């Protein structure tokens, strides 16, 4: 996700400095090359060696140093950066940068960079609410600097309120957004994900093996690319991606209601959910007792959500999935036409490394206007971006 990206992580003196270590791990795990600059006060809280070991680079603490033979440290780092993160950002560093002061390695490098700069502030609640601080933040925002707002909670100083550093995962997500072209900004995309559960009684249900991974990858990628994302999700074990509007549902009829409630105003609907085609004719109010050697279930057809969307006069761009075990292209094409879709993503769910409950997928994309695009084995995150590339290019310009 962050492959080939160079990120400068500036760490300031605050009790939350230890959380910058966790952020560094997330960034390097995401593929980024991270260089750390620590202020003098930051070193009171945590030793540079920790960051050095985890980033695989020496930590920068002094302004007047050279990198290699003839590279001036702060200019070289500033030029190399794709993104600059300051975590935790103290009231002091924000005040200094807002005032144009550059008197140490961190402030000098920030001033010299043309990369986007993202602050994650952490401080006492009264410092955070102080007018001078707020004016400094406002000024920096006006000049195009980005912020990940602190959260409310119990602060290290004993006070309760805003000022707690945002979670490393939230800062990581904001970093990914800052590094991703915002081609879906202003768009609203509804994604369905996961299985549906059709209850037989209070303890049993009919369902399928969908984990939600494909739909969640789509929701996360669309969010990273700037879309407002509504994620209608059946029951899964996954955490909702940061920044999406999650609408939890259980059954196919719940999903139908949720989709119809949110579809107006959407630019695209992507239906990655594995919706049960049938449900028990009736749900028993109490647990069905064990009876003879066999038991028969009467099932009735569920509404086809995608087909209902396809039959609407005014409808958003519609992308369906086809989970197939044979004649993948042929069956998917029939669904594309029958449900009046703009595109369908066919996956062969009989393969071990594709389809249900794995991190990879391979797919055949078919389009309403004809033509197809074959995607070899790739991660679901990668496939999500390929699908969004297609949708982004096909959405009408506004
Ligand atoms: O969740 P994962 O573990 O990551 O697995 C991903 C996946 C295999 C579930 C996903 O890639 C996938 O193929 N999803 C569609 C599964 C499916 O229900 O396919 P289908 O061929 O039965 O349905 C075709 C399309 O109609 C689908 O977009 C489905 O959401 C939609 N549908 C189906 C039935 C119904 N009653 N209403 C619908 O809207």
CA of 33 to the centre of ligand 1 (A): 38
Average pLDDT, integer, range 361-382: 97
pLDDT reading at 107 higher than 80: yes
Pocket test for ligand 1, best of 191, 235, 257, 273 (most atoms within 8 A of CB): 273
Q: Give tens-digit pLDDT for 168-189.
A: 999 999 999 999 999 999 999 9
Residue 113 is encoded by which pair of tokens? 């960079």
Confidence of residue 63 (pLDDT cuts 50, 70, 90): confident
Confidence of residue 14 (pLDDT cuts 50, 70, 90): very high
Average pLDDT, integer, range 302-312: 98
Confidence of residue 73 (pLDDT cuts 50, 70, 90): low
Burial degree of 358 (CB within 10 A; 0-12, 13-18, 19+): middle
Q: Where are the domains of the chain?
A: 6-178, 188-394
CA of 275 to the centre of ligand 1 (A): 6
Which of these ranges, 51-65, 270-284, 334-348, 359-373, has the smallest mean pLDDT? 51-65
pLDDT reading at 69 higher than 60: no
pLDDT reading at 157 higher than 90: no
Q: Is 188-394 assigned to CATH 3.40.50.10300?
A: yes
pLDDT reading at 111 higher than 60: yes
* pLDDT, the chain, mean: 95
Clarify whether 157 is annotated catalytic.
Answer: yes
Identify the three-state secondary structure at position 337.
Answer: helix
**Whose Cα sits closest to atom 10 in ligand 1?**
272
Asked if 308 and 299 count as a contact pair (C-beta separation under 8 A), the reply is no
CA of 277 to the centre of ligand 1 (A): 10
Q: 319 versus 397: which is more confidently predicted?
A: 319
Confidence of residue 84 (pLDDT cuts 50, 70, 90): very high
pLDDT reading at 273 higher than 70: yes
CA of 195 to the centre of ligand 1 (A): 8
CA of 379 to the centre of ligand 1 (A): 18
pLDDT reading at 72 higher than 90: no
Same topology between domain 6-178 and domain 188-394: yes
**Ligand 1 pocket member 210 (CB < 6 A):** yes
**Ligand 1 pocket member 165 (CB < 6 A):** no
Q: Give tens-digit pLDDT for 38-58.
A: 999 999 999 999 999 999 999
Confidence of residue 155 (pLDDT cuts 50, 70, 90): confident
**Ligand 1 pocket member 190 (CB < 6 A):** no
**Whose Cα sits closest to atom 21 in ligand 1?**
322
pLDDT at 159: 80
Confidence of residue 154 (pLDDT cuts 50, 70, 90): confident
| Gyration radius (Cα) of the chain, Å | 25
CA of 274 to the centre of ligand 1 (A): 4
Pocket test for ligand 1, best of 306, 317, 380 (most atoms within 8 A of CB): 306
For strand 278-280 and strand 299-301, is the pairing parallel, antiparallel, or unpaired? Answer: antiparallel
Q: 75 versus 177: which is more confidently predicted?
A: 177
Superfamily of structural domain 6-178: Flavin prenyltransferase-like (3.40.50.1950)
Instruction: Tell me how far apart the alpha carbons of residues 293 and 45 are, in angstroms, rounded to a whole number.
Output: 68
Pocket test for ligand 1, best of 260, 269, 271 (most atoms within 8 A of CB): 271
Neighbours of 319 (CB within 10 A): 26
**Whose Cα sits closest to atom 31 in ligand 1?**
306
Confidence of residue 1 (pLDDT cuts 50, 70, 90): confident
pLDDT reading at 67 higher than 90: no
**Ligand 1 pocket member 208 (CB < 6 A):** no
**Ligand 1 pocket member 321 (CB < 6 A):** yes
Instruction: Tell me how far apart the alpha carbons of residues 285 and 202 are, in angstroms, rounded to a whole number.
Output: 7
pLDDT reading at 160 higher than 90: no
pLDDT reading at 231 higher than 80: yes
Catalytic residue, chosen from 12, 157, 266, 375, is 157
């Amino acid at each position: 996700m962050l492959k080939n990206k160079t990120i400068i992580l500036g760490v300031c003196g605050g009790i939350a400095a230890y959380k910058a270590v966790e952020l560094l791990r997330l960034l390097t795990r995401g593929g980024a090359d991270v260089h750390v600059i620590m202020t003098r006060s930051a070193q009171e809280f945590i030793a540079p060696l920790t960051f050095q070991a985890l980033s695989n680079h020496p930590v920068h603490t002094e302004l007047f140093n050279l990198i290699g033979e003839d590279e001036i440290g702060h200019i070289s780092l500033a030029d190399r950066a794709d993104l600059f993160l300051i975590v935790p950002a103290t009231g002091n560093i924000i005040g200094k940068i807002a005032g144009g002061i550059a008197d140490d390695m961190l402030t000098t490098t920030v001033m010299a960079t043309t990369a986007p700069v993202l602050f994650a502030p952490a401080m006492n609640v009264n410092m955070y609410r102080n007018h001078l601080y707020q004016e400094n933040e406002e000024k920096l925002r006006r000049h195009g600097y980005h912020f990940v707002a602190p959260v409310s909670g119990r602060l290290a100083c004993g006070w309760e309120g805003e000022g707690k550093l945002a979670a490393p995962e939230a800062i990581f997500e904001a970093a990914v957004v800052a590094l991703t072209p915002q081609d879906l900004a202003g768009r609203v995309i509804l994604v369905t994900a996961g299985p549906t559960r059709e209850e037989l009684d209070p303890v049993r249900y009919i369902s399928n093996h969908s984990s939600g991974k494909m739909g969640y990858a789509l929701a996360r990628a669309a969010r990273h690319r700037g879309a407002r994302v509504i994620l209608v999700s059946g029951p899964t074990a996954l955490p909702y991606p940061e920044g999406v509007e999650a609408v939890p549902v259980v059954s196919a009829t719940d999903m139908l209601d949720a989709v119809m409630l949110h579809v107006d105003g959407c630019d695209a609907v992507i239906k990655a959910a594995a919706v049960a085609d049938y449900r028990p004719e009736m749900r028993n109010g109490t647990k069905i007792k064990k009876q003879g050697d066999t038991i028969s279930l009467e099932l009735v057809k569920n509404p086809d959500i995608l087909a209902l969307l396809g039959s609407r006069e005014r409808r958003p761009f519609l992308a369906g999935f086809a989970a197939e075990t044979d004649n993948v292209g042929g069956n998917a094409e029939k669904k594309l036409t029958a449900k009046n879709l703009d595109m369908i993503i066919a996956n062969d769910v009989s393969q071990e490394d594709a389809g249900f409950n794995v991190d990879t997928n391979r797919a055949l994309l078919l389009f309403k206007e004809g033509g197809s695009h074959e995607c070899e084995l790739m991660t679901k995150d990668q496939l999500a971006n390929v699908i969004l590339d297609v949708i982004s290019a096909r959405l009408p310009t506004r």
